A = this chain, B = another copy of it.
Amino acid sequence: MNQNDAALSEIKWNQQGLVPAIAQDHATGEVLMLAWMNLEALRCSVTEGRAVYWSRSRNKLWRKGEESGNVQLLHEMRLDCDSDTLLLKVEQVGGIACHTGRKNCFYKHLENGSWNVTDEVLRDPADIYGDQQ
């Protein structure tokens, strides 16, 4: 039994056995993305010291950065008052968290009744992912 299992057993998973995990840049405080973890993903994150999520679309573990190299190194993990949301303080390798090639995923701002895209693409996804996209 992993030494963290007692702590991880306190988490209140949803009906799909998942919890939302917010990734925040540990240095700047920028919110990078929200993804989901199951128990296995969380165990791997803690053991490996990097963000490992559960991909709901691909239905498998997703070691963030496994294709792009944009790994998230785990500096700190926090749990909220209701024990149903995680906050990860991470170091975003490569400075790109979003699959669109942007710094973070929250690049659509509500302004005057529409979502305006203001953040620039730092690297073309075709460069990041090659032919996989």
Q: Which A residues are within 8 Å of any B CB, using their own CB?
A: 3-4, 6-7, 10, 20, 22, 24, 28-31, 33-34, 46, 76-83, 85, 87, 98-100, 102, 105-110, 112-115
Question: Roughly how many angstroms separate A102 CA and B7 CA in the complex, as a whole number?
Answer: 21
Chain B residues within 8 Å of A22, by CB: 22, 31, 34
Given contacts A28-B29, A81-B98, could you give 4 more A-B pairs where the C-beta distance is less than 8 Å?
A3-B113, A79-B106, A79-B115, A81-B102
Question: Roughly how many angstroms separate A131 CA and B42 CA in the complex, as a whole number?
Answer: 38
Q: Contacts A29-B28, A106-B87: A34 and B114 contacting too (C-beta < 8 A)?
A: no
Chain B residues within 8 Å of A80, by CB: 33-34, 105-108
Q: Which of A6, A10, A28, A81 has the most CB of B within 10 A?
A: A81
Question: Roughly how many angstroms separate A78 CA and B77 CA in the complex, as a whole number?
Answer: 24
Question: Roughly how many angstroms separate A46 CA and B15 CA in the complex, as a whole number?
Answer: 30
Chain B residues within 8 Å of A102, by CB: 81
Q: Which of A28, A30, A76, A113 has the most CB of B within 10 A?
A: A113
